[in-house]
Copies of this chain bind each other. A is one copy, B any other.
């Protein structure tokens, strides 16, 4: 059921099989599988993750290409709730290990509400970290101007949206010198690339030469604003008043992983990603990671499969440590007649 301030007290003494941090594609897929394995789970979703911002899924089998990410999330939430999952809007602040008489468990502290916040603690045997990431966007004075285009024709994922940039005039918005190398992959889709540093990146002579060799202009003047209307970006105005015409854009400024709540635990990381085995188990036997937070391709389809794998591994653990169920044949249920 949906939990809120009003009813969450009912669950404070419940030991969930699994608490899932993040209600994106990976977390919701895990919830559906867990409930179908007769395991109990709570999904805690802070809202507005990466898939929420996707205006069109484009490459997920079974859904029309123009399905918005938020529709996938809405459907998944309803599916999980219909199977008996619990779902809570809140921000997970900390996960800590506890050992009680009942065995080992996790205490998951959640912040609910931006004002008059409350901080309930829920408990589970397993944790699935499905909290993903959020992309850095160009920092402009008026951020609404960025949000007007991000996820429409100002993209953040080349694998998802490179096809829609084919042979278009494309702005590449970078946050470091290394990320300029994205241009030399993006040119698979379009060679008409202009690189924008927004005045915040020092570019060495070697990289300047490489850009010049490819014919990709480098614009180092800070950006005043994106131009366009109806969520279709048509160019960039620079602070010196000049404009650059564009038909599409790719933001390659890196991303921030939502993983602060795991920092007190001894887990193996590779950069911002959790290292996992083939079933998405981290170096802690009862903590799993799915989707963008773990190593690998950041794609909806991969996150959905990760949720399947993590839920199945947890089911195997719990099932194997549970006593077998016998058919007590003195019950009145008939067998061979």
Known: A28-B61, A37-B163. A192 touches B327 (CB 8 A): yes
Copies in the complex: 2
Q: Which residue of the partner chain B has the closest CB to A78? A: B64
Instruction: Compute how far the CA of A305 lies from the CA of B35 in the bound complex, rounded to whole angstroms.
Output: 22
Instruction: Compute how far the CA of A65 lies from the CA of B192 in the bound complex, rounded to whole angstroms.
Output: 44
Instruction: Compute how far the CA of A190 lies from the CA of B331 in the bound complex, rounded to whole angstroms.
Output: 14
CB distance from A178 to the nearest CB of B (A): 18
Contacts of A184 in B (CB 8 A): 324
Q: Does residue A53 face the partner (Cβ distance < 8 Å to B)?
A: no
Q: Does residue A118 face the partner (Cβ distance < 8 Å to B)?
A: no
A288-319, CB < 8 A from B: 296-297, 299, 301-302, 304-309, 312, 319
Q: Does residue A243 face the partner (Cβ distance < 8 Å to B)?
A: yes
Q: Does residue A25 face the partner (Cβ distance < 8 Å to B)?
A: yes
Instruction: Compute how far the CA of A308 lies from the CA of B157 in the bound complex, rounded to whole angstroms.
Output: 14
Q: Does residue A102 face the partner (Cβ distance < 8 Å to B)?
A: no
Instruction: Compute how far the CA of A58 lies from the CA of B215 in the bound complex, rounded to whole angstroms.
Output: 51
Asked if B307 and A305 sit within 8 Å, CB to CB, the answer is no
Contact indicator per residue, chain A 34-48, by CB within 8 Å of chain B (1) or not (0):
011110000000000
- How many residues of chain A have a CB within 8 Å of chain B? 75
Contact indicator per residue, chain A 185-202, by CB within 8 Å of chain B (1) or not (0):
101111111100000000
- Listed A/B pairs (9) with beta-carbon separation below 8 Å: A60-B62, A60-B304, A61-B72, A65-B79, A194-B335, A215-B329, A301-B301, A301-B307, A302-B309
Q: Give A residues with C-beta under 8 Å from B.
A: 25, 28-29, 32-33, 35-38, 58-65, 67, 72, 75-76, 79, 82-83, 159, 162-163, 166, 169, 184-185, 187-194, 213-217, 219, 242-245, 278, 296-297, 299, 301-302, 304-309, 312, 319, 322, 324-329, 333-337
